[in-house]
């Protein structure tokens, strides 16, 4: 048995349009949009009467794939639970970026909430954390050359 790579990361969202816009502003590209329903998808998710809309976003080089998923049915009526860096579970999505200062400036113009300013980790990375739509924590990382 051999694992080749992480194929994609799926993120459930309530406002699919806002989430899509945020990740497009970050520099991802739409690779596909689709809706799914029926018995097969019910079995995949382990739920009944599923109907979802999805947006597949990828990096320009094709190395990363992010799948945004909006559940029309069944809906989860609970409010979004804001997570913190120490909350158990998957906490953030990290993107390797070029020119972190320009990326941060672009996101600040869109009123993105920042958890930290750009910080330097030793002589290897410049890092910055922000919150995307619905509380998704995004790490921006620029490798120092």
pLDDT at residue 63, as a whole number: 87
110 CB contacts (<8 Å, ≥6 apart)? 22, 25
Q: Is 66 exposed, middle or buried (0-12, 13-18, 19+ CB in 10 A)?
A: buried
Q: Give me the CATH number covering residue 13.
A: 3.10.180.10
Co-location of 69 and 105 in the same domain: no
What is the rounded CA–CA span in Å between residue 88 and residue 117? 24
What is the band of 36 on the pLDDT scale with cuts at 50, 70, 90? Answer: very high
3-state secondary structure 109-131: HCCCEECCCCEEECCCEEEEEEE
Number of domains observed in the structure of the chain: 2
Show the domain range for 112.
92-143
pLDDT higher than threshold 80 for residue 54: yes
Q: 53 and 15, same structural domain?
A: yes
For residue 2, is pLDDT > 90? Answer: no
Tell me: do 60 and 19 sit in the same domain. Answer: yes
What would the mean pLDDT of 3-15 be, rounded to a whole number?
86
Alpha helices in 27-137 (DSSP H): 39-45, 100-109
pLDDT at residue 135 in the model: 85
**Of the listed ranges 51-55, 60-64, 66-70, 105-109, the one predicted with least confidence:** 60-64
Mean pLDDT of the chain: 90
User: What whole-number distance in Å separates Cα of residue 29 and Cα of residue 72?
Assistant: 24
Do 15 and 60 lie in one domain? The reply is yes
Residue 1 domain-assigned?
A: no
Residue 128 lies inside a defined structural domain of this protein = yes
Are 131 and 91 in contact by the 8 Å Cβ rule? The answer is no
Q: Is 61 exposed, middle or buried (0-12, 13-18, 19+ CB in 10 A)?
A: exposed
**Mean pLDDT, rounded, for 70-80:** 81
- Residue 7 has what pLDDT? 83
Residue 90 clears pLDDT 90, i.e. is over it: no
Question: Which pLDDT belongs to residue 29?
Answer: 96
Residue 94 near residue 69, CB atoms below 8 Å: no
Query: Is there a contact between 141 and 95 (Cβ–Cβ < 8 Å)?
Result: yes
**pLDDT number for residue 76:** 75
| Residue 46 per-residue DSSP state | T
Residue 86 lies inside a defined structural domain of this protein: no
Res 117: pLDDT: 94
Q: Which of 2-6, 42-46, 65-69, 126-130 has the lowest mean pLDDT?
A: 2-6
Asked whether residue 3 is assigned to any structural domain, the reply reads: no
């Amino acid at each position: 048995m051999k694992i080749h790579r992480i194929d994609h990361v799926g993120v459930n969202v309530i406002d699919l349009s806002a989430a899509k816009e945020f990740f497009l502003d970050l520099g991802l590209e739409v690779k596909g949009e689709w809706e799914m329903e029926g018995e097969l998808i019910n079995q995949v998710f382990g739920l009944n009467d599923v109907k979802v809309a999805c947006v597949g976003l990828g990096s320009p080089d094709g190395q990363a794939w992010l799948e945004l998923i909006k559940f029309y049915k069944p809906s989860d009526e609970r409010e979004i639970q804001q997570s913190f860096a120490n909350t158990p579970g998957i906490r953030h999505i990290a993107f390797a970026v070029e020119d972190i200062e320009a990326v941060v400036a672009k996101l600040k113009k869109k009123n993105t909430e920042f958890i930290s300013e750009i910080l330097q980790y030793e002589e290897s990375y410049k890092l910055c954390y922000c919150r995307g739509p619905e509380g998704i924590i995004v790490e921006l990382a620029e490798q120092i050359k």
